[in-house]
Amino acid sequence: MHASNFNLYVIELNSTDIATDDDIRSGMVTWVKLFKATTWEEIDMITKDNPSFESTAESIFISNADKNVVKRCREREDFYLEQEAREKEMAKLKQTIAEKNSTIAEKDALLQKYIEQFGELK
pLDDT above 70 coverage of the chain, percent? 85
Same domain, 28 and 57: yes
DSSP label at residue 14: T
Same domain, 73 and 122: yes
C-alpha torsion 16→17→22→27, nearest 10:
40
**Do both 26 and 71 map to the same domain?**
no
Asked whether residue 58 falls in the same domain as residue 76, the answer is no
SS3 of residue 119 by DSSP: coil
Q: For residue range 6-42, what is the model confidence (pLDDT) as tens digits?
A: 666 666 666 777 777 887 787 777 778 877 877 778 8
The answer on pLDDT for 46 being more than 90 is no
Q: Which domain holds residue 56?
A: 1-64
CA triple 61-63-65, angle to 5 deg: 60
Tell whether 118 and 87 lie within a shared domain.
yes
Domain count, the chain: 2
Q: How many residues are present in the chain?
A: 122
